[in-house]
Structure formats: structure tokens, C-alpha cells
Structure 1
Amino acid sequence: MSVQENITESTISVRDLEGLGPLPLVIEPQTPIDWRRCFSDIRAVIDAQLESVGGVLLRGFNVEQESDFQDFAKAFGHELLSYDYASTPRSKVEGKVYTSTEYPAHQVIPLHNEQAYTLNWPMRIWFCSLKVAEEGGETPIADSRQIYNLIEPDVRNRFEQRKLMYVRNYGNGLDLPWQKAFSTDSKADVERFCQQNEIEFEWKGDGELRTRQVCQATARHPRTGESVWFNQAHLFHVSNLQAHVRETLISIVGEDNLPRNVYYGDGSAIDEKDLDHVRRVMDDCEVRFLWQKGDIMMLDNMLVAHARGTFKGDRKVVVAMAEPNR
């Protein structure tokens, strides 16, 4: 019996998104209705299906404000999380609802799982489209289990066995200042956070901060037991920069002072051919669809990676997170 047949009240319908397969599963109201009036049915589908398909798209519930989106995310019973130890610029817009990464419209943000560059990450992440771009602006997604399975075994084994060391240099006009990344002006607070989260830190001669943290390359989902590709090596590595930008940065600041880079856990270099392979696999797994105004997408952050395409015109997608993994 399907999930839809198990819904006691026919307030919603469930379907695949045309031509895209099971990810994301689409939930829609049978007739125009506020999500609150059918939340029990929505929750029943999500509880039954999210950890199977990895992500759902709620469409047609007419969510128009950040506060309404926040209420929806909080309705699942977990306190929403702050963006601690941030790696990209974003702004708080309502409670613990944030803008999506504030990179220029011409810039692609590659597929990644939220905060997979740390040992602490949210299990749930929500996105809400409040303003649809004139062109583009998708939030592509991909199944992290599929990515794991398609990575060549020898590449996957190297990453799994050796783990990853993320190196970050904050500020100096090249990346987030440490005050923004850690949401504090206190060096003591930064040091305390780093000590609590197994992050090595160093205050450099110019007063700026360098951190190093060894993290997982893959992970096992705590409830499904499935293995997932779960890191941001392809995004943090200097090879993710355009060649001329990379050369210029290294010539100015040196490799040790790049805003961000990643190595194997022992500090040795990652073969760029391996990272190219990872990027190709991710591209092959990508699922892309256009936002509609008021759409909400809910992902299991370990099972599904997300990205951002280029766009034209104004675009507003906001984000909330919950349920820390530890």
C-alpha cells in the first residue's frame, strides 16, 4: 500500500516530480489550503518517506513570509540551529532563518552537504523560495548514497582511510572574518568553541586566525545505516578556483595562507585527479528543477547534497536547519 493510500484525509497528494524520478518527492494540497490545516498528513508522509527518498518538495501551500517558513520548520519539534562555524556569507532574516549563501548571481555553488566540513552538522535542512529569479536560480540536489556508490572504490578507500584536514585562514579581505564565521568578537569564545569541537587554532602575527580540523570523508547514517559521501573536499580544495585566480592568490599569500584548502588528514596533498573524478560523479547525480514561489524543500542533510545555479534578476531563498547529529 502506498503512502498516499495510508493518508486518512485526502488533504494532500504525493507524486514524483515529472521526469526526475523519486527525488524529490512532491507533496501538494488537494485544494488550496494553509499547511497548518493538513500538517498531520504532511508529517505522516515525511516521517514515512524522507529517509527513503532523501528529500521532499512541498508545493502549492502559499508560504509567503520568513515567519511562516520558520513556523513550518519548527513544527517538526526540533529547535532550529544557528549557523555556527560558518564558511560562507549569509544573513539572519527571521529568528533562526537565514539567507542562502550570498555569493554573486554568476557564481555556481557546487553540490555539498551542509557543514560536512565539520564534525557537527544538521540532520535536517529546509529551503523556501520566497522570490523566484527571472532565469535560473535552481537549488540542484543529489543523492549522497548514489554518489558514494559511484565513486571509484580506490578513490573512496583513500578518502575514507586517510580522512580530510580542512585548513582555513579568515579575514584579510579574502574570506569571512573570524568574527563573522564564529558569530562573536571574543577571541576567548572562539578558542573555547575550537577546543570543544576538536579544531586546532592559531592566532597569526597579524591578529588573524588559522584553523585546522580533521573530519570524515564518508559517513554512515545513524538511522538507516547507509553509507554516504559526506565531505566538502571538492569545494574547499584550491583546485576549485579558476586557474588564474588560484595562481594569483598563491603568488600573493602563499599556499599556507589561502582562505581555504583541504588535505588528507595527515597533511599530505590530495591528488587533483581524484577530486576531478568526484566532481564528475556529483555532476552525473545532480537533479535540477525550477523553483516556484512558496516552494519548501526539506532534505535529510546526510542523504542529499544541495547546490546553487547561476541566475538573473532578484532571487530569495531562505534556509533553516535542525537536529544536530551529535
Structure 2
Amino acid sequence: MTFRIRAARDADLQHLYEMAKLTGGGFTNLPPDRRALVAKLERSHAAFSRTAGALDDELFVLMLENADTGEVRGTCQIFTQVGQRHPFYSYRLGTLTQHSRELQRTFRAEMLSLTTDLEGASEVGGLFLHPGERAGGLGLLLARSRYLFVRQHRARFADRILAELRGVIDEAGGSPFWDGLAGRFFGMNFQDADQFNAINGHQFIADLMPKHPIYTAMLTETARAAIGLPHPSGRAAMRMLENEGFAYENYVDIFDGGPTMTARTDRVRSIREAADDRVISVDRGGGAEALVATGVLGDFRCAFGHIRHEDGGIILSEDCARALDVGAGDNVVHVGRW
């Protein structure tokens, strides 16, 4: 079987809804709400349709499908510029050092400060892979295809890019971080707040969240322990982000305390190392494993393939060429599979 990444279509609503029901909560970018998903698809359709190259507030939704059967098995999203419709809030974990001359002691207190530092950055998010397909590197294909899309449309994205990882969620679907902090001010449980945010945005945080820094020593032990930790299912995603050059710089999600990873867009490894080439022929031979992409906007496609360099271009594996609908004379962008 060969899988490919393609642009989302209006007909993908049911696929998105079925996947959203499998996320298990804490997945703001893929809420199990048809109205919210329809709005995402409409916004994505508008982004794919706009041909102007300038940076704007847009969302691109991509789908993972079986190239042979058309069956959809995953999805991911790219936001071009966060914080334009609603403030993009994060907590920044910092330290306040104070010294008492009389006691001859220095006290260092950790604090969480509400911030919009990351406003204006691009974001990769909304990645979900069907549980039955979590083998064979398809999560890697979903994740890294986004960077090739960014490279193909570089003017549409900011100079900084971020990724929010889902934080620790307990067996009951609750968040220790939320229960220990924000839940005390909002009078609602984590699931309700998360769903409200997914549909209505962050403005209620601005309305109700205390603006003063929060001393972490005042939180419960379970809440403190969750700060900056990804959900166990997100550890592999965190390693992939680190391999791309993303780093955790003490920004955490305001709902579940999960880490927010950031990078300079042009320094993301898949963007930096990708190369453009012309396909000179297609065959069944071997070669180096790679992610290969072609097309712009709604015609963008990406798949795994094998390539061999020859004078004047590359020889592309037959299955990849079929999945991407390319042949001799077509141009592709590719980056090594690592």
C-alpha cells in the first residue's frame, strides 16, 4: 500500500468527524463538533483557493489517504499566523530570585506568567493518525509533509513556527494542570473548557484568567508535575520535533500544561535540507528513501519514495510517481527520510 498527503476537501467532513471522536480529549484543533469542523474546512478551502503569496491569517488542512483505495487514515493542519482572530495565550515558566540578608538565604520561586509572546507565529498542529495505521512511518509522513508544504509556499508563513503538544491527561479524561490552576477560576471541568475553546476561541481566557503571575509552589503537586510534560502518546512527536530543530523554551499550554515547541522557520531541518529536482525517469529500482512532494496549494501531494540522482535530475520509484501522479519531466521537492 502507498499513502499520500493531499489537500482536504469539503467531502472530508465525515472522515474528520470520525477521527475527532477517536482523539480522547485535549485535542483542540480537531474537536468532535461538526459545526467547528465545517468551519475549518471552509477556512482551509479559502486558503487553498487564494493565490496571492502574502502572509495572512489562514489554515491549511491536509489529509492522509491510501493512494490505491482513497481511504482516509489521518490528518494534519498548518496555521499561517496565530493570534489574529483571538489572542494566542501561553504560560511562560520563569524564575524570580530573591535574597534575604537577615536570613542569609536566597529564594528562587518558579512562576507562570500569562503571555502572548508567540502571537504572529505559524503553527503546525492538528495531527491525528488512525490507531490502526500507527506503524510504517505514516506519522512521520504526516508531520514532515507540512514542512515541505511550508517550503513550497514560504511567503505564506511567518519566520517563527510553533507546535503545541498535548499535555498530561488522566484516565478519566481530566487534566491535573487544569484542575490545579485554571479550573479554580472558571468553574468548569477540563473537557468542557477544552471543547468551548475549540469551538469559540481563547477570548474567555482573557476575560476570566487572572493576569498576575502564578507561583507554582501554590499549585497542587500533580499540577506542578504536569508542567511542560507531553502526554505519553506525544513523546514520539516531541522527539520528531526536536529532530527538526524545535526546542522547548518554557512556554506551556494554558489548558493542560503541555509543552509548546518553537523554531525559526528557515532552520527547520526538513525545510533547510529539502531540494528541488526534475524527474528524468521512473523505474522499480532502489535508491535513497525520501519524502517527495509536488504541486502547489490544492494540488499539493506528498508521499514516501526512493530516489537516485543522475545527471540532470533524479530517478523516482514507480509507486511514489503513481501516488503523486508525476512522470519524466515533472519537478518535485524531496528530503531524506531520517
TM-score (norm 1): 0.22
Structure of higher CA gyration radius: 2
Higher relative contact order (CA 8 A, sep 6+): 1
